[in-house]
């Protein structure tokens, strides 16, 4: 039997780059093996030497300490990942899956690898996107000039992104894009790093306020309206470790919703 789970409230106090994580992380769906949360903007998923603030892995670690009976660890892979099944960029909000035991983690890693988990995003991009629906298949490779950026490159790994236009808007201050904005529903058929951001930028539709793949002058103007890129992992569809078909939906951050309310329709 299909199940649908959603959450209409929003997270955050408007300060997305605080060093302490907002403790009120939404749990969107949970069973004995699995947790799906709405990751806030500005929170890093994985621990790293270069990351000084609290991460989602730290948050999971605290939950394990508080409720050890709900979790089963003692496995090197599980401990290395703290059950995190995939990742989202720091500025990207939305659905993030966490396994509660090693068997569930390996199951979900296999599901992601075989592309059986469906991830759907919402993205606000510069430009009037045409056609209204489409798919791009372009290989991606890490940039040799900037290790934090990725690029379309013939030596890269195959990456497939599909899009559908939800709405079109007009916002003054982006003459290079004829002051046009498009709100897209974006689906991933592969899961490469920065895939959506790189593909859409390459097509001439960079994500609003994306400081990495949008020119600096436009990104600065965008930041007057929004202080992070507009990309949200809104829907996650999967078959759970327990065999249930599940669809989880995460509400957009309030600042993204507020921006959309200020925009004039085309």
DSSP 62-78: HHHHH-GGG-----HHH
Q: What is the pLDDT of residue 233?
A: 98
Q: What is the pLDDT of residue 5?
A: 39
Q: Give the C-alpha distances (Å, rounded to integers) separating 246 from 1, 57, 185, 189, 215.
A: 9, 23, 19, 18, 39
Length of the chain, please?
266
For 3-265, give the CATH class: alpha beta
pLDDT tens digits along 58-91: 999 999 999 888 898 878 999 999 999 999 999 9
Q: Give the C-alpha distances (Å, rounded to integers) separating 253 from 42, 62, 76, 183.
A: 11, 24, 34, 15
Catalytic residue, candidates 89, 210, 222, 255:
89
Q: What is the pLDDT of residue 8?
A: 36
**Separation between Cα atoms, residue 219 and residue 229, nearest integer Å:** 9
Question: What is the DSSP-derived secondary structure letter of residue 16?
Answer: T
Domain boundaries, the chain: 3-265
The mean pLDDT of 140-146, rounded to a whole number, is 93
Active site residue 89: yes
**Separation between Cα atoms, residue 32 and residue 70, nearest integer Å:** 7
Burial class (CB in 10 A: 0-12, 13-18, 19+), 75: middle
pLDDT range class, residue 11, cuts 50, 70, 90: very low
């Amino acid at each position: 039997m299909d199940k649908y789970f959603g959450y209409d409230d929003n997270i955050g106090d408007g300060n997305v780059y605080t060093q302490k994580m907002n403790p009120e992380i939404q749990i969107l769906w949970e069973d004995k093996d699995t947790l799906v949360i709405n990751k806030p903007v500005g929170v890093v998923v994985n621990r790293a030497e270069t990351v000084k603030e609290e991460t989602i892995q730290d948050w999971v670690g605290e939950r394990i300490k508080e409720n050890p009976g709900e979790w089963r660890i003692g496995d090197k892979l599980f401990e290395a990942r703290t059950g995190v099944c995939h990742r989202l960029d720091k500025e990207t909000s939305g659905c993030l899956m966490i396994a509660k035991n090693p068997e569930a983690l390996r199951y979900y890693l296999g599901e992601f690898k075989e592309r059986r988990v469906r991830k759907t995003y919402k993205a606000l991009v510069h430009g009037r996107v045409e056609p209204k629906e489409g798919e791009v298949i372009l290989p991606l490779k890490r940039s040799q000039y900037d290790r934090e950026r990725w690029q379309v490159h013939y030596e890269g790994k195959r990456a497939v992104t599909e899009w559908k236009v939800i709405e079109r808007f007009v916002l003054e201050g982006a003459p290079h894009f004829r002051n046009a904005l498009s709100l897209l529903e974006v689906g991933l058929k592969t899961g490469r790093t920065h895939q959506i951001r790189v593909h859409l930028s390459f097509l001439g539709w960079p994500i609003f306020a994306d400081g990495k793949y949008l020119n600096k002058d436009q990104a600065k103007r965008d930041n007057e309206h929004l202080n992070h890129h507009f990309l949200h992992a809104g829907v996650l569809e999967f078959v759970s470790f327990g065999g249930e078909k599940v669809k989880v939906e995460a509400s957009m951050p309030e600042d993204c919703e507020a921006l959309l309310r200020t925009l004039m329709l085309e």
